[in-house]
Amino acid sequence: PDDYALTTLRHVGSGHNTIYSLFAPDGSSLWAATQEGVAHCDSHGQWQTTCLPVSRRFVTLPARQLWASTLSGRLFGIETAGHPITHHPTGQRVSGLYTVDGKTLRTLTPNGPTAVQQVARLKDGTLVAATEGSLEARHPDGRRDVWTPRDSHWLLDNVYALCPSRSGALWVGQRMGISVVRPDGQGRHIHIPMDAPHLQGYLIVRHLIEDHRGHIWASTSNGGVVRLGGGQVRHYLGSANVTACLEDSRHRLWAIAAHQGLMRYDARSDSFLPVQRAYHLPSRKILAFNEDCDGALWLAMDGLLARLDIGRGGRPHVQLFTSEDGLPEQAFMPRSTLRLGDTLYFGMTDGYIAFSPRELVRHTSAAKAHLIVSDILVDGTSLTEMDAAEASRITSSLPMSVRHLTLPPGVRQLSVECALLSYNHISQTTYAYRLEGRDTTWVYADPGTRRVTLDHLSPGNYKLHLCAIDHRGRQSELAHPIDICVLPPWYATWWARMAYLLVAVLLGWLAWRYVQMRREVEASRRFTAITQTPQLQVPSAPLPQDHPAPQEEPEPSAQPSALLLKATQLVREHLDDSTYNRDRMAADMGMSTSSLFTKLRTASGMNIQTFMQNIRLNAAAALLRAHPDLRISDVAYRVGFNTPKYFSQCFKKEFGVLPGDYAKRYGQGVRE
């Protein structure tokens, strides 16, 4: 552990210091369980002990770890190997790291008004150093150039960032914008229009990088990220306080901001997307980041160091390193990082740290702990407390091996209790879930709890993904998602919906049939009122001598108009002529078809075709009443229909019954 004090043991094995057991993990050092505590002897023969009284035995593990139980019943894990992270204290803050020859590390301290803020090496070997009040260039031939805001029109204020480009130019980030200096020493200030009026001419540039396309990305304290390239200026993230940007070896662009944490640039949407939650990073306070030789990102956070490796398919893998791994109790400095060979350096408030990423990962490599489901609760009741029949309807498996859950209707809450099979820093383990079909990102459980709760799930099918993040940031997902089927109530089942549909169709058909019958009855009533006047009576067609036409007394009615009299007379004269249509009728009446249509609708309420068909059908009805033994085909031809089938359809639509049934009802039968 990292919370015990070390004291020197001058005499080991004396009468007052009994040794219970010994342990030699690597052959070069010795560990002893003594009456006074755990003692360690290094390769130089120097003994040190911890103030932890232990029992008579050690519990040893092969992964360079020693477990000791105390007399008070507590268990401590002690790392028996050294830490790959090396702390180099200087007594001062290290605000920057740089190298001149690519081999030797040099540090920058922000003390004094003339302290160097940034150092950059140009393509021709010129070394440029920036202070708060000037910019100095030292050329390989010994020449020296100095620029200050007083004697330079492009250097306006304090310089905070330098970025040499591949073209040989030098980009300068200042408290009042960005300038560029050509290889010949001539520079100019770049005007950057801002959306916010208060930022005009006051853009604080803290960091500059050049990407593989030659674009310059400027990280500002008050204006987000600014991209310059191709003659255009593009703004991102509004007025966010962006610490730095980084393009990795795979040409992915990253940014860290004060409140948003880690962000990744998406070329398709041309925007920075937050990935803090998606990658399960524990803190949004990221002060510096760098890339190692293997393409992984190292993030200097508040009190810890994180390694982010984006594997195949974009799946992130995060590892966290704390004081257990040798990280000193110091704060990181913003943007203070450097990579030399396979070693990474990060500046801190007291000196800097150095480590080999591969060695650090190998030092802390261990198999990920397994995540299991320890209990399932439905509306607050555990499956183990339910009736066996009720629990079997939900799942037939034990919680540890559950793969499918069927929730009955009316369930308001489902809780799944998880457990990560790890016994190191259990309180720092975080649990999260993602409900496929509802959640697009991981949802974290309440701190200190191992239970994820789903409230008011709608009927349907879901997949529940569970994961746990241990104190080192290692993510362990459940081996398989849990399929959840929420059953609907009876009134929302598929058969109930089918019944609703059938009832709706039946009601719709009945309503349609009712409207059709009302229309038929109304049309028949109006036409009967017109045709039953003495002037418009339709005589039957000539019949054989053995079928004399009956004499019927017409009912008194109102006198029709001359138009109706003439129209009815024309249809009656051409009753058996199936080719007699509205055009011939309009010609016989000496008017156009449209005029006849308008006048006839005004007088009778019907169009020409309906008027002619109603006269023919009423004539057919009169024939069937007077001579029920006539063939249906003969009746159809006598009233101007070409086919008996179409005649029967029109007759039924008008009178509600087929011609044969009509004859049977009002006559003595019909001969087919």
| Pair 321, 472: CB distance under 8 Å | yes
In what side-by-side order are the strands of the sheet with 286-291?
286-291, 297-301, 305-310, 316-321
The model's confidence at residue 202, banded by pLDDT at 50, 70 and 90, is confident
Task: Identify the domain containing residue 540 by its residue range.
Answer: 522-666
Looking at per-residue confidence, does 627 or 27 come out higher?
627
**Residue for token pair 């150039």:** 145
Residue 37 within any structural domain of the chain? yes
Q: Are residues 72 and 100 in the same domain?
A: no
The model's confidence at residue 441, banded by pLDDT at 50, 70 and 90, is confident
pLDDT digits (tens, 9 = 90+) for 294-307: 999 999 998 889 99
Predicted local distance difference test score (pLDDT) of residue 1: 41
Joined together, the tokens standing for residue 195 give 């959306």
The model's confidence at residue 319, banded by pLDDT at 50, 70 and 90, is confident
Predicted local distance difference test score (pLDDT) of residue 541: 42
Q: Calculate mean pLDDT across residues 340-361.
A: 92
Predicted local distance difference test score (pLDDT) of residue 335: 93
Predicted local distance difference test score (pLDDT) of residue 219: 95
pTM score of the predicted model: 0.58
Q: Are residues 91 and 211 in the same domain?
A: yes
Q: Calculate mean pLDDT across residues 621-644.
A: 90
How does the average pLDDT of the chain come out, rounded? 81
Looking at per-residue confidence, does 529 or 585 come out higher?
585
pLDDT above 70 for 475: yes
Predicted local distance difference test score (pLDDT) of residue 471: 76
Residue 507 within any structural domain of the chain? no
Residue 615 within any structural domain of the chain? yes
Predicted local distance difference test score (pLDDT) of residue 171: 92
- Residue that finishes a domain, picked among 473, 492, 511: 492
Q: Are residues 238 and 216 in the same domain?
A: yes
Classified as helix, coil or strand, 375 is: strand
| Pair 272, 264: CB distance under 8 Å | yes
**Residue for token pair 């019944």:** 499
pLDDT above 90 for 662: no
Predicted local distance difference test score (pLDDT) of residue 522: 66
Q: Are residues 189 and 156 in the same domain?
A: yes
Q: Are residues 480 and 620 in the same domain?
A: no
Residue 23 within any structural domain of the chain? yes
Q: Give the CA distances from residue 571 to residues 301, 467, 537, in Å, rounded to whole numbers and listed in that order.
A: 99, 87, 12
- Residue that finishes a domain, picked among 261, 283, 305: 283
Predicted local distance difference test score (pLDDT) of residue 407: 92
Predicted local distance difference test score (pLDDT) of residue 13: 44
| Pair 620, 651: CB distance under 8 Å | yes
Residue 343 within any structural domain of the chain? no
Q: Percent of the chain beyond pLDDT 70?
A: 80
Give me the sign of the Cα torsion angle 258, 260, 264, 270.
negative
> Which of 58-67, 111-120, 265-274 has the lowest average pLDDT?
58-67
The model's confidence at residue 249, banded by pLDDT at 50, 70 and 90, is very high
Joined together, the tokens standing for residue 101 give 């020859």
Q: Are residues 107 and 165 in the same domain?
A: yes
How many angstroms separate the CA atoms of 254 and 273, rounded? 9
Q: Are residues 276 and 382 in the same domain?
A: no
How many angstroms separate the CA atoms of 168 and 122, rounded? 7
| Pair 242, 224: CB distance under 8 Å | yes
Joined together, the tokens standing for residue 585 give 């009728």
On the 0-12 / 13-18 / 19+ scale of CB atoms within 10 A, 529 is middle
β-bridge partners, 337: 346
Looking at per-residue confidence, does 481 or 312 come out higher?
481
Joined together, the tokens standing for residue 458 give 């709608």
Q: Are residues 171 and 240 in the same domain?
A: yes
Neighbours of 502 (CB within 10 A): 10
Return the CATH number at 67.
2.40.10
Q: Where are the strands (E) in 361-487, listed by range?
A: 371-378, 381-382, 404-407, 413-420, 430-436, 443-444, 451-455, 460-469, 475-477, 482-486
Residue 32 within any structural domain of the chain? yes
> Which of 41-50, 185-194, 298-307, 455-464 has the lowest average pLDDT?
41-50
- The highest-confidence range among 93-102, 192-201, 471-480, by mean pLDDT, is 93-102
Predicted local distance difference test score (pLDDT) of residue 492: 81
Beta strand pairing call for 482-486 and 404-407: parallel
Return the CATH number at 550.
1.10.10.60
| Pair 97, 103: CB distance under 8 Å | no
Q: Percent of the chain beyond pLDDT 90?
A: 30
Return all residues near 147 (Cβ < 8 A) that are at least 6 apart. Answer: 134, 135, 136, 155, 187
Return the CATH number at 150.
2.130.10.10
pLDDT above 60 for 451: yes
| Pair 64, 80: CB distance under 8 Å | yes
Q: What is the DSSP string of 390-401?
A: HHHHH-SS-GGG
Q: Are residues 277 and 383 in the same domain?
A: no
Determine if residue 314 is left, alpha or beta; phi over 0 gives left, psi from -120 to 50 gives alpha, anything else beta: left
Neighbours of 360 (CB within 10 A): 22
Predicted local distance difference test score (pLDDT) of residue 243: 94
Return the CATH number at 446.
2.60.40.10
pLDDT above 90 for 469: no
Q: Calculate mean pLDDT across residues 32-38.
A: 72
Q: How many domains does the chain have?
A: 4
- DSSP secondary-structure letter at 272? E
Q: Calculate mean pLDDT across residues 436-443.
A: 85
pLDDT above 60 for 153: yes
β-bridge partners, 635: none
Predicted local distance difference test score (pLDDT) of residue 29: 66
- Residue that finishes a domain, picked among 283, 308, 325: 283
Q: Are residues 530 and 564 in the same domain?
A: yes
Q: Give the CA distances from residue 230 to residues 161, 224, 233, 328, 663, in Å, rounded to whole numbers and listed in that order.
A: 22, 20, 8, 45, 93
Residue 356 within any structural domain of the chain? no
Predicted local distance difference test score (pLDDT) of residue 367: 60
| Pair 216, 162: CB distance under 8 Å | no
pLDDT digits (tens, 9 = 90+) for 390-426: 888 899 888 888 999 999 998 999 999 998 887 667 7
Q: Are residues 443 and 543 in the same domain?
A: no
Joined together, the tokens standing for residue 231 give 């003659």
Residue 296 within any structural domain of the chain? no
Q: Where are the strands (E) in 182-329, listed by range?
A: 187-190, 205-210, 216-220, 225-229, 232-236, 242-247, 253-257, 261-266, 271-274, 286-291, 297-301, 305-310, 316-321
Neighbours of 73 (CB within 10 A): 7
pLDDT above 80 for 554: no
Q: Calculate mean pLDDT across residues 590-619.
A: 88
Our measurement of the distance from residue 497's CA atom to the centroid of its chain's CA atoms, rounded to an integer in Å, reads 31
Predicted local distance difference test score (pLDDT) of residue 62: 46
pLDDT above 90 for 543: no
Q: Are residues 442 and 563 in the same domain?
A: no
pLDDT digits (tens, 9 = 90+) for 57-114: 555 544 456 667 766 666 666 666 567 888 999 888 999 999 888 888 999 887 755 6
